[in-house]
A and B are shown apart, each in its own frame.
Chain A
Amino acid sequence: MAETMQFDLVSPERRVASLQVAAVQIPGADGDLTAMKDHAPLITTLRPGVLSVDGPDGEAKFVVTGGFAEISSAGASILAERAVPVEDMTQEIYHDMVKSAHEAHAKARETFQNEPGPVDDAAKLLADMVAMGDHIGISPPNL
């Protein structure tokens, strides 16, 4: 295995994972990126997506939404508002997420009628959510 670095994934309620990994692929707001040891220090916000780590027990995947990643030369810590291992991801949780994204979008459209900014953001969030569902093989609910 290549050189490893410390990887932490924390959600507000608990520490989801903390291990030594070779690489971690992060769904950043401006695009996916892979961080390995000695990566340049970087802070990026997350878009809803799948985070995959190349750890000692093979590859592990997590669904993350909202939050940010802090990458330094020593390691990467991801602070996500929601972090669920892909295996634990159910139709129910996913539908819940998509539904709240839908509501946020509808609300943004209502409140910001003459400002495209927030509406676009909400639309992107929703699209990311749906794309993530495709990625892990769960279809979005019919809304």
Chain B
Amino acid sequence: MPSLKDLKNRIESVKSTRKITKAMQMVAAAKLRRAQDAAESARPYAERFNAVLAGLAASVGDSDSAPKLLTGTGKDDVHLLVVMTAERGLCGGFNANIAKLAKNHAAKLKGQGKTVKILTVGKKGRDSMRRDYGDLFVGHVDLTEVKRVGYTDAQGIARDILNRFDDGEFDVATIFYSEFVNVVSQIPTAQQIIPADYDTADEGDSDGSTTLYDYEPDEEAILADLLPRGVATQIFTALLENAASEQGARMSAMDNATRNAGEMIDKLTIEYNRSRQAVITNELIEIISGAEAL
């Protein structure tokens, strides 16, 4: 049975924890709004870009001269997994879910006898992947210093990946990130970026664009110019989705923590009051029985 003083200290400490989680929740809510705005304003570019690329990809098709970024190297022996997570924890299952998806993927590929290489973006993913697949690491991108992800960050990551592709380090690249649905739901997603996997079925009905475009310079030159930018665009989208997901996950995790702390305080307060009452009753009994004995 803890003493009254212990209980009191305990309640105080849980109360200050609750204050902290409450503050973190509010900070996350504010950041979430900003991250959502950023994701929102990036959408028109990404949508347009992908629509045009899908159209181009469909028309260039499988011709022999089509760029490797589109058709692949003709092999799929070496896979690069780009695991994108947050730089910070305390956001529920956010980082763990992405890492889990990536690990399952890696295990599956290894089972098929493929070579797996891992590139991580974000400290949390690195820590978690390193435990199981430390020997497969080829690199890590540190975004700790970045307060707000910008397109230049995505470009940097894309350049790194493209350089590796040009050097023949891998055949297939897949990015892992979390898609933001709403505050309580973020879906860990795997997306293949090299060779580009454009959903050509989408493009016809998006705006009924059966328009036949003239291309200047020719289609293949444009495609060669745009595909590397497409990789950057996809990474940028993933970064923004991740940022929004992270804040959403943190917000709901902190909301839960605040609520749990509240419940704990209630329970502890009841216990405190009971013990105090017990002490008073005890003292009374002592006094009364003392008086009766006289």
Residues on A lying within 8 angstroms of B by beta carbon are 8, 10-15, 28-30, 40-45, 66-68, 70, 72, 77, 79, 81
Contact = CB atoms under 8 A, between A and B. Distances in A.
Nearest to A43: B213
B229 A42 contact: no
A68 B219 CA distance: 12
B136 interface: no
B150 A13 contact: yes
B233 A30 contact: no
Nearest to B212: A41
Interface string B199-225: 000000000000111111100011001
B48 A70 contact: yes
Given A44-B215, A67-B229, A81-B151, 15 more contacts: A10-B44, A12-B42, A12-B236, A13-B41, A13-B150, A14-B42, A29-B225, A41-B213, A41-B214, A42-B216, A45-B217, A66-B229, A68-B222, A70-B48, A72-B213
Contacts of B225: 29, 45, 68
A41 B155 CA distance: 29
A15 B226 contact: no
Interface of B: 38, 41-42, 44-46, 48-49, 52, 56, 150-151, 154-155, 211-217, 221-222, 225-226, 229, 232-233, 236
Contacts of A15: 41, 44-45
22 contacts: A8-B44, A10-B44, A10-B48, A11-B151, A12-B42, A12-B232, A13-B42, A13-B151, A28-B216, A41-B211, A41-B214, A42-B215, A43-B215, A44-B215, A44-B222, A45-B216, A68-B222, A68-B225, A68-B226, A70-B213, A79-B45, A79-B48
7 closest A-B pairs by beta carbon, nearest first, are: A14-B41, A44-B216, A12-B151, A10-B45, A42-B214, A41-B213, A43-B213
B44 to A, nearest CB: 5
Contacts of A72: 211, 213
A13 to B, nearest CB: 6
A32 B56 CA distance: 22
A42 B222 CA distance: 12
A68 B45 CA distance: 11
Contacts of B44: 8, 10, 15
Contact of B214 (A11, A43, A81): A43
Contacts of B221: 45
A45 B226 CA distance: 8
Contacts of A28: 216
